[in-house]
């Protein structure tokens, strides 16, 4: 009996932890910076569009279920440590580290064939006729299977050029004020 109670308790605690650590509030409690991923996201179609569908951080970054999800959460212990040691706690530090972070996320999506994108966008559901010529050509070839979404669509959510501009502006204004 006690075993069952502990068992059920563990399942609830697990479910609670998994949910609580997948909200935008949780992610932006650390990724809070003005020149950070949230600011960049707000400038994109994924934040505001005609259909009103808005992916949260976890929709693109955390596998929906199973071992991949647990594994991603375990990997996140690096994020906790780097947060404590202040690895990306200024816009300048963030920019200096951004290529490494981008590289990791792109590699993760390459390895899983851009699964998080495909949770919303299915190639089979695309009406190629409504797409631009370039898009139609690229997507109709995807059956060959050697390219995946992130190969052609990196930078859709957090534009590095915009980040550089913002950090440049911020650091020059902080120099002026000091």
- Regarding 127 and contact with ligand HEC (CB under 6 A), the answer is no
Of the pair 51, 178, the CB lying nearest ligand HEC is at 51
Tell me how far the alpha carbon of residue 149 is from its chain's centroid: 14
CA-nearest of 75, 39, 58 to 120 is 58
Instruction: Give the nearest distance from C-beta 169 to ligand HEC in angstroms.
Output: 17
**The only residue of 123, 140, 169, 174 in contact with ligand HEC, by rule CB under 6 A:** 123
**The only residue of 93, 154, 168, 170 in contact with ligand HEC, by rule CB under 6 A:** 154
CA-nearest of 44, 59, 157 to 101 is 157
Q: CB-based contacts of 149: which residues, under 8 Å, 6+ apart?
A: 109, 114, 117, 118, 121
Of the pair 85, 177, the CB lying nearest ligand HEC is at 85
Site residues for ligand HEC, 87-106, by CB under 6 A, read 87-88, 98, 100-102, 104-106
Site residues for ligand HEC, 29-68, by CB under 6 A, read 29-31, 37-38, 41, 44-46, 49-51, 53, 55, 57-62
CB count, 10 Å around CB of 163?
Answer: 19
Q: Are the C-beta atoms of 47 and 157 separated by less than 8 Å?
A: no
- Regarding 69 and contact with ligand HEC (CB under 6 A), the answer is no
CA-based R_g, the chain, Å: 19
How far is 72 from 18, CA to CA, in rounded Å?
11
Q: Which residues bind ligand HEC (CB under 6 A)?
A: 21-22, 24, 26-31, 37-38, 41, 44-46, 49-51, 53, 55, 57-62, 78-80, 82-83, 87-88, 98, 100-102, 104-106, 114, 116-121, 123, 131-132, 134-135, 138-139, 142, 147-158
């Amino acid at each position: 009996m006690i075993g069952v109670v502990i068992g059920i308790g563990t399942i609830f605690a697990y479910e609670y932890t998994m949910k609580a650590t997948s909200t935008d509030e949780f992610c932006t409690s650390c990724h809070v910076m003005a020149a950070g991923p949230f600011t960049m996201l707000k400038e994109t179609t994924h934040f505001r569009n005609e259909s009103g569908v808005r992916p949260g951080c976890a929709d693109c970054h955390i596998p929906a279920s199973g071992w991949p999800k647990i594994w991603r959460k375990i990997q996140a212990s690096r994020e906790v440590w780097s947060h404590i040691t202040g690895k990306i706690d200024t816009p300048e530090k963030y920019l200096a580290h951004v290529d490494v972070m981008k590289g990791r996320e792109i590699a993760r999506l390459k390895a899983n064939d851009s699964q998080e994108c495909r949770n919303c966008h299915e190639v089979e559901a695309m009406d190629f006729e409504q797409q631009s010529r370039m898009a139609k050509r690229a997507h109709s070839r995807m059956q060959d299977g050697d390219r995946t979404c992130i190969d052609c669509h990196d930078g859709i959510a957090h534009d590095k050029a915009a980040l550089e501009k913002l950090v440049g502006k911020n650091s020059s204004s902080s120099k002026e004020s000091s």
